[in-house]
Structure 1
């Protein structure tokens, strides 16, 4: 009986040892697999980083669904997918190894060339008039009559010599440099819904999903809206400061951002856009206004905008229908293309292309005048920040700029 019990215990002990050894072997194999997995993830991440650098350098050569292998030893396929997203393009980079895929998605634009002017004023056979504490830093293209300093008491500085320009002067042409039209294109696949159909005040949609088109009438309050979403309105759209927007597109006849709003967006509004006091449209934002009707873009006191403004009309005969007003203490960080009348009292860090410069006080209106405004072209610390219009005549850029990862 004792021998049988000893045999039983021996078998049981051997079984425990076997199970333990099996677990050790399995754990070892598991950790080897995990080590291989994370090693491959590191390689795929390195592959994606190489793909990002390649895309920045050769973006114009990339066709949709282009494929490339950067490291032949690993046999990781890299796929580039380009799609329009408002003014921008979305660039999706996928590193693929067997059944594993590592993806990154970016908003892309055109990197600004180094010789962009501070100001390009259409040649209307008049002087460029400067008054008050006006300062322009950078090369300028102006009518051949050149710069004239004038004194206007309402500018706040009686000594007109305070106005100054630092840079080269070139003669502009009768028309602004031509540029490709900017149009909002809806994708073939999208999901439509009214804002009331969402049960929660947070609407998120990945750029790898189908675009959501959300209909809003009147006011947009107490919402957080991010990602692959187009907000559409058939009437003036009011964006309250309680709403936060990120990477979305706004499509409405007119858009008004109420005081203290913060966020970024691409705004397509043919009849105009208003930024009320202390409003901030952050990088990278776009404002596009193109209409055969009267249109106004107004940047009120302490408002700021970071991105690109494209204000187009249907020809020189309709320039007076477009008005762009940048009030005192308002700041534009980026580039402006204005086929209309520009009233510049605030500050622009970037480049200004405009058909006309205007100034009005309580008594008179003045042509080709900047009173107290400032323009700083291509600040050194912003050299990898600015992006510009596609195919801007004589100032065209072919290099891509990855604006942000989305």
Structure 2
């Protein structure tokens, strides 16, 4: 005879509790596994969006890139759509790429210029039917494109040419026309160096001591405007243009990163450090022991008749002793007017690492680690003016790194490259 055993209600509750716990744990593991798979897929897709964004930028840099021609183009790959827009930021192209897939979005912004290679000259001297005379400790390393009259040793203040070779590279003949910059860059230089008002809809900023402003290159440009602007103890970063109707003054206490300065006169005081582009129509003066990091640019575009002809020591674009400029220097003045003073002066112990393009005269007492394109040279010594003389100056193209990205000319065959990733 079988006896019936009663199970207490508490035991059933315990069994149900255990079952519920197991069900919750199983559900948790299922949700965790599902979430892991979901986020892994999302992470992989996000990486694909980033890769597609980078690919689209590189595609736009190709010589046949549609974005170069249309300034606005779309790409699509594996369901990921990317729009690439091209603009200008000073002397550089500015590309912005926006990629999206469903709710995933990624944007990037880059400065773009032209690469350099061994085919580019260290020196291009326009053919004005007179030779280049070198004296003192002058040194030219790299290929040189010179007038038909060539290059000769000379003597200034009793100092003859000390080198054993006039050019450490090949010599070819130049023409009576100095290579011109790209037409769109020319237009942008004239715009930034001329009097202009900020675009409509942009809220101007007002700088004051110890103030700090920043603006992403993925946002509309912000402007600082005024008559005379002193940036002492001011920090400015990113997509900002400072516009003054008379003068901008930059101090060693200023912290300027990737911005643009535009004024008739720009004064950069001793010991200033930063990364920026400066555009002026009358004068840019860089003091002593300044460091302008890559990719900086100093651009002077003169339109009116110059008033400093009797003051030859006041070159419109002047770089003081001990200063280092990493980037680009440009002087423009489209006229047949004869100039009897230098328009760009690189003082003793000053260094330019990059490119110098001058449509008039250069007085080079320091060194250029890169290339020089100029209408002529000039040396001012002991009250005398020596035309087309290079005295104690150094041009060394071999010291320019292959990664340098800079200017392009209308007939350039150099590839476009990224100078800097922005933010």
TM-score scaled to structure 2, two decimals? 0.85
Q: Partners in 2 of 1:213 and 1:92 — Cα distance? A: 20
Cα shift readout 1:137-159 (whole Å, capped 9, x = no counterpart): 122233322222112236xx556
Q: Partners in 2 of 1:242 and 1:44 — Cα distance? A: 41
Q: Partners in 1 of 2:87 and 2:179 — Cα distance? A: 27
Structure 2: runs of 5 or more not aligned: 1-5, 193-197, 307-314
C-alpha contact 1:340 1:355 (8 A) present in aligned 2? yes
- Residue 105 of structure 2 is matched in structure 1 by 101
Q: Within 5 Å, give how 1:300-315 maps onto structure 2.
A: 300-315=320-335
Q: Partners in 1 of 2:219 and 2:350 — Cα distance? A: 37
Q: Partners in 2 of 1:244 and 1:194 — Cα distance? A: 16
Q: Partners in 1 of 2:201 and 2:389 — Cα distance? A: 48
SS of residue in 2 equivalent to 1:351: strand
Q: How many residues align?
A: 395
- Residue 174 of structure 1 is matched in structure 2 by 176
- Residue 359 of structure 1 is matched in structure 2 by 379
Would the alpha carbon gap of residues 242 and 284 (structure 1) be closer, same or farther in structure 2, given more than 3 Å must change? same
Q: CA deviation at 1:125?
A: 2.4
Are 2:406 and 1:397 aligned?
no
Are 2:221 and 1:211 aligned?
yes
Q: Within 5 Å, give how 1:75-94 maps onto structure 2.
A: 75-94=79-98
Q: CA deviation at 1:24?
A: 2.1
Q: Partners in 2 of 1:87 and 1:59 — Cα distance? A: 21
C-alpha contact 1:137 1:167 (8 A) present in aligned 2? yes
Cα shift readout 1:329-353 (whole Å, capped 9, x = no counterpart): 1111111111222111111122212
SS of residue in 1 equivalent to 2:294: strand
Q: CA deviation at 1:222?
A: 1.4
C-alpha contact 1:87 1:184 (8 A) present in aligned 2? no
SS of residue in 1 equivalent to 2:260: strand
SS of residue in 2 equivalent to 1:31: helix
Q: Partners in 2 of 1:59 and 1:275 — Cα distance? A: 39
Cα shift readout 1:22-59 (whole Å, capped 9, x = no counterpart): 22222221111111111212222332343343233346
Q: Partners in 2 of 1:386 and 1:212 — Cα distance? A: 26
TM-score scaled to structure 1, two decimals? 0.89
Q: CA deviation at 1:228?
A: 0.5
Q: CA deviation at 1:318?
A: 5.8
C-alpha contact 2:152 2:166 (8 A) present in aligned 1? no
Runs in 1 of length 4+ with deviation above 6 angstroms?
Answer: none
Q: Within 5 Å, give how 1:311-326 maps onto structure 2.
A: 311-317=331-337, 319-320=339-340, 323-326=343-346
Cα shift readout 1:177-207 (whole Å, capped 9, x = no counterpart): 33332334666653222224xx962211001
- Residue 257 of structure 1 is matched in structure 2 by 268
Q: Partners in 2 of 1:263 and 1:233 — Cα distance? A: 19
- Residue 144 of structure 1 is matched in structure 2 by 148
SS of residue in 1 equivalent to 2:121: coil
Q: CA deviation at 1:321?
A: 7.4
Cα shift readout 1:261-308 (whole Å, capped 9, x = no counterpart): 111111111112111111011111122211124361111111111112
Cα shift readout 1:64-85 (whole Å, capped 9, x = no counterpart): 3322234xxx322232121222
Q: CA deviation at 1:238?
A: 1.2
Match of 2:362 among 342, 345, 361: 342
C-alpha contact 2:72 2:86 (8 A) present in aligned 1? yes
Match of 1:376 among 389, 396, 406: 396
Match of 1:224 among 235, 239, 259: 235
- Residue 191 of structure 1 is matched in structure 2 by 203
- Residue 385 of structure 1 is matched in structure 2 by 404
Larger radius of gyration: 2
Structure 1: runs of 5 or more not aligned: none
